[in-house]
Amino acid sequence: MTNQTPPLLNLLFVLNPVSGDIDKATLEQTITDYCTERGRTANFHHTTGDDDLENLRAKLAARTYDAVFAAGGDGTVSLVAEALLGQTTPLGILPLGSGNGLSKDLGVPQDTQEALQLIWRNEERVIDTLQVGGQFSAHLADLGFNALVVERFDKGDTRGPGAYIRIATQEYLSYEPATYRIETDLETWQGQAFMVTIANANTFGSNVVINPNSDLDDGQFEICLIEPFPAAAAPGILYRLYNSEFDESNYTRRLCCRTASISVPDAQEVLVQIDGEPQTLPSPVKITINPQSLRVLVPLPAKAK
């Protein structure tokens, strides 16, 4: 569901000082100049890694903004989205991270100058969000192989797609799929899986399409399974994931649901990646959907620009 927005005049930009390769002082000046030229007021808030959610909520409680822009990667976007959950103030995104998954699913330009046009050329969309093991998720979460790679990537010193691919290649050679038990409001599945993705959206920041034809506002989510596969099948699976053909593989399946519980038998804790952030959560991991809970800014359709 989308709606035309009134002019957004008083804006807050939440900046992560360590995301991306852009100089943040230069970025602030660029944003300020862009807003001033169009009669907007730019305000800034910097994350620190300490009590970021509480600090942002306090700032939002002290003053009203017409929109809040997350200027950073997936973690910054998720932080701002959680702070705006259930509010009338919309979320805008200036994608500056390594993946930028939600922005891609929303059609936000990945170029900073083009993304800044959301300040004055936009419409509002209301989307669903998730609770995964008691944690907020605006986009995608997973257990298994990708969660392990994200954890290794998070602990490393190098950023960017090249570092992710290097770590993924190293981990793939020794990775052992786990056994999962998944109970949803519609069905139960148990078996081994290479990767279990909890998907409110379509695409990882790496452009892997894990959940083709899904909607961010349909009141349900999907659990996308990649089952164990022989090494010879890996290139074909990867090809399908990059070409929106997830359902065409013999090693994939999707479960559509509104609630779910995922456990690893005999494990008290499991590693889960949530919106690009690795976390260790108690097992079973319970998932619920929050329908129509987040307002986001998206580009105008081409014919309306």
pLDDT digits (tens, 9 = 90+) for 237-295: 999 999 999 999 999 999 999 999 999 998 999 999 999 889 999 999 999 999 999 99
Dist CA 279 CA 19 (whole Å): 19
Average pLDDT of 192-221? Answer: 91
Which fold does the domain 2-128+293-304 belong to in CATH? Answer: Rossmann fold (3.40.50)
Query: How many Å separate Cα 22 from the centre of its chain?
Result: 21
pLDDT at 132 over 70: yes
pLDDT value at residue 167? 81
- Which residue's structure tokens are 């083709």? 212
Average pLDDT, the chain: 90
For the chain, domain boundaries: 2-128+293-304, 135-292
DSSP at 209: B
Tell me which of 2.60.200.40, 3.40.50.10420, 3.30.470.20, 3.30.930.10 is the CATH number of domain 135-292: 2.60.200.40
pLDDT value at residue 150? 83
Dist CA 194 CA 144 (whole Å): 6
Single pTM value for the model:
0.89
pLDDT value at residue 98? 73
pLDDT value at residue 116? 94
Of the pLDDT bands very low, low, confident and very high (cuts 50, 70, 90), residue 301 is: confident
Average pLDDT of 80-91? Answer: 96
Q: How many C-beta neighbours within 10 Å does residue 106 have?
A: 22
